[in-house]
Amino acid sequence: MTEGIKWSNDLCFMVADKMFCVVLLDTPIQVSLKVKDEEFDEISNLHGIRPAPYAARHKWILVENVSVFNKKKWEDYITQSYSLVKAKLSKKKIAQLK
């Protein structure tokens, strides 16, 4: 896993150069991440969450109110997003991670 600032003010977390979580550092802080296809519609309609601009077609959500999830939920969704993005990597990229 790596991290870096992109687009001037977004903290991006990546696996093999593929983003799995983006923290928009403007106030208020917002977070984008990938969710399972089957849960996208339900989650993106919760209060404080919406489909992520430019990435919704890839099942990314934008959490506009970070207090909508407790610590455990954040850990679960971030871990899930990492796993979903990693699962799409080529075998060669996965082997390079080790």
Complete domains list, the chain, with CATH: 2-90 (3.90.1150.30)
| pLDDT > 70 fraction of the chain, expressed in percent and rounded | 99
Distance from C-alpha of 19 to C-alpha of 29, rounded to nearest angstrom: 18
The answer on pLDDT for 98 being more than 80 is no
**Per residue, what are the HEC states of the chain?**
CEEEEECCCEEEEEECCEEEEEEECCCCCEEEEECCHHHHHHHHCCCCEEECCCCHHHCEEEECCHHHCCHHHHHHHHHHHHHHHHHCCCHHHHHHHC
- Report which of residues 19 and 96 the model is more confident about: 19
What is the predicted pLDDT for the residue at 96?
83
Q: Are the CB atoms for 11 and 25 separated by under 8 Å?
A: yes
Read off the pLDDT of residues 35-82 as tens digits, 9 standing for 90 and up: 999 999 999 999 999 999 999 999 999 999 999 999 999 999 999 999
